[in-house]
Structure 1
Amino acid sequence: MKVYITMDAEGISGIYKLAQVIPGNSEYDYARKLMAGDINAAVAGAFDAGADAVFVNDAHNNGDNLRITDLDERVVLCSGADRPYTMAEGAQKGFDAALLIGYHARKGSKGVISHSYAYGSMVEMWLNGKVISEYELIGYMIGYYGTPVVFISGDDIVTADAKENVSGIHTVTVKECISNGAASCIHPNVTARMIRAEVKRALEEIEAKQIKPMAIKEAVKIDVRYSAEAQAWKAMMAPNTERIGETIVRYHGKDYKEAYLAFVTGTGLAGTFGDDAALYKCK
């Protein structure tokens, strides 16, 4: 059994505010240890369930958060910013199951460091008319390659949302959200045991629970509301785009992959204009 892991940072055990996940801040190095702790727990659970190989995609920010020497030596780690599929990089290799570690709620909703893909540019995103969160954006790209998302960890908001939207998914809630920058956190040693046990259970129950890949068979539209008009017109330089509002851009494709890759390109271009960038220079 081959297992794919994509890791974000905001839903990691012990993380409760933005400054912890931004490189250069005093608490970031400690947060990297917390990230490694959750990943190692998930990896242990995967091998407990009989995995032959585990691939980890360091999906937060520029993909340079996890230090390979902090991880279980059995993993393959994907690092770096220049990845065509960004947070879903590596999924195209084909896996039997996928685990989402450290994910978070969407922008505008209650949730610890809740946002939608990009801190300084994106306000909201829709998939074929439905408001979605980041785990869905990435989960459908993983599902495009036939891999079911069987597990997610994060705060109580994202895990509850995932249960509503992904049939059969297993979850571990590592903290309870108080606000965007505050949480009641369970000790990382405890959450590590929780993650390890639930990942093992999730992988062992794939067939019994008949967890299917997140998939869309028809044409796809990903609509994004950016925070500034300048971001929208920059995004329009990407392929397969349509301007449907002053700050809203539609990325379309004959399938999910085509629309998603257009989104990745356009959102990267939009991010070159940061009207509120100063908000994210945390000290």
Structure 2
Amino acid sequence: MRIYISVDMEGITGLVDVEDVQPGGRDYERGRLMMAEDVNAAVRGALAAGATDITVNDAHGPMRNLLPETLHPAVRLIRGKPKNMGMLEGLGPEHDAVICVGYHARAGALGVLSHSFLGHEIEDMWLDGAPVGEIGLAQAAAAAIGVPVLVLTGDDSACEEMATWDGTVTTVAVKYAKDRFAAELRPAAEARAAIEEAVATRLATPPTRPATVDSRATLTVRWQSASIASMLQGIPGVTATDSRTVQAQGSLPVLYRLFGVWVRLASSLTSQAPYC
């Protein structure tokens, strides 16, 4: 059984602030070790269920957060950027299941460090008219590849978002949002035991692959800046619905990869810090 783990940082056990998740932050070094421990809990669960191959993709920010020496020796780590598929780099139909560790709620939600991909530069996103963030877009792209997302960990707001998007996914809340930069934390040992148990239990039953449908989807993004929306219209297939909102159509995961290009271009046009 081949397992793919995508790891973000805002939804990791114990982390609540920008200083916890941004390189150079006063608690970042502690944060990256906490990140590794949540990953290792998921890996232990996967191994207990019979996994024979585990790929971990460092999917947060610079994508160099996880230190290889802090991870379980069974892991093959994808580290660094740029990556064509970003948070899903390396995922293919040869994998049997996706586990999302440390994920967070979308922009506009009252969740810990909530945002969608690019701090406050992205005000909102929709996939085929439904509000979406990193959670929904990852699940939809993985399903199009033919691999189910089976487990997600994060704060309670992220878990609720996944339940709304795909109620079949097992979720583990490692903290409970009090505000965007505050949470009630589960004890670390308890949270990691819950992650390990959830992964082991869910993978104990052979995963059912989603039926891949090569249909066109529409991704719509509303930006904080009209400048970004204007620049993106230079990309073939991108159209504007108003001065700050653009959309494109295509098959997933091609649309997921295209969105990554939008994010890289938007990043080059702004120096504003995330989470403001």
Pairwise TM-score range, normalised by the shorter structure: over 0.9
Residues 140 and 216, structure 1, Cα contact 8 Å, conserved in 2? no
1:124 is paired with a residue whose SS is strand
Cα contact 2:142–2:253 (8 A) shared by 1? no
Match of 2:188 in 1: 188
Equivalent residue, structure 1, for 2:174: 174
**1:221 shift after superposition:** 0.8
User: Residue by residue, what CA displacement relative to the aligned partner does 1:252-281 show, whole Å, maximum 9, x if unpaired?
Assistant: 11x112222221112211222227x15669
| 2:34 matches 1:38 | no
TM-score, L = length of structure 1 = 0.93
Residue in 2 that maps onto 1:60: 60
The amino acid across from 1:136 in the alignment is G
Equivalent of 2:237, from 237, 240, 253? 240
Distance 1:216 1:158 in 2: 26
Structure 2: how far apart are the matches of 1:227 and 1:62? Answer: 22
Instruction: Give SS of 1:252's match.
Output: strand
Supply the distance in 1 between the matched residues of 2:172 and 2:24 (Cα, whole angstroms): 29
1:106-147, CA deviations, whole angstroms, 9 ceiling, x for partnerless residues? 111110000011114211100011111211111222222110
Provide the rounded CA distance (Å) in 1 between the counterparts of 2:273 and 2:9: 21
Sequence identity of aligned pairs in percent? 31
Residue in structure 2 matched with residue 200 of structure 1 by the alignment = 200
For residue 33 of structure 2, give the secondary structure of its aligned residue in structure 1: helix
Q: 2:252 aligns with which of 233, 251, 256?
A: 256
**Unaligned residue ranges in structure 2 (runs of 5+):** none
Tell me if structure 1 keeps the 8 A contact 2:93–2:147. Answer: no
Question: In the alignment, does 2:267 pair up with 1:271?
Answer: yes
- Aligned-partner Cα distance in 2 for 1:278–1:55: 30
CA contact under 8 A between 2:93 and 2:146: conserved in structure 1? no
Distance 1:102 1:161, change over 3 A: same
CA 1:173–1:215: 2 relative to 1, 3 Å: farther
- Equivalent residues of 2:9, 2:21 under 8 A apart: yes
Q: Does 1:231 align with 2:228?
A: yes
The change in CA–CA distance for 1:42 and 1:214 in structure 2 (over 3 A counts) is farther
The residue number in structure 2 matching 1:131 is 131
**Maintained 8 Å contact 2:12/2:103:** yes
Structure 1 residue 100: deviation in Å? 0.3
The equivalent of 2:10 in structure 1 is: 10
Go from structure 1 to structure 2 and tell me whether the alpha carbon gap of 1:280 and 1:149 turns closer, same or farther (over 3 Å shift): closer
Query: Which structure 1 segments of 5+ residues have no match?
Result: none
Q: Which segments of structure 1 move beyond 4 Å, counting only runs of 4 or more?
A: 214-217, 278-281
Q: What is the CA–CA distance in structure 1 between the aligned matches of 2:191 and 2:211, rounded to whole Å?
A: 26
Measure the CA separation in 1 of the matches of 2:176 and 2:90: 31
Query: Whole-Å Cα distance in 1 between the matches of residues 134 and 273 of structure 2?
Result: 23
Residue matched to 1:147: 147
Amino acid at match of 1:69: E
Q: Retained in 2: the 8 A contact 1:140–1:214?
A: no
Secondary structure at 2:183's aligned position in 1? strand
Aligned equivalents of 2:230, 2:40: Cα separation in 1: 42
Q: Could you tell me which amino acid in structure 1 is paired with residue 197 of structure 2?
A: A
Residues 210-229 of structure 1: matches in 2 within 5 Å? 210=208, 212-213=209-210, 217-229=214-226
Q: What does 1:86-165 align with in structure 2 at a 5 Å threshold?
A: 86-92=86-92, 94-165=94-165
Q: What SS does the corresponding residue of 1:63 show, helix, strand or coil?
A: coil
In the alignment, the residues of structure 2 paired with residue 279 and residue 148 of structure 1 have an alpha-carbon distance, to the nearest angstrom, of 30
Q: For 1:106 and 1:278, how far apart are their aligned partners in 2?
A: 17
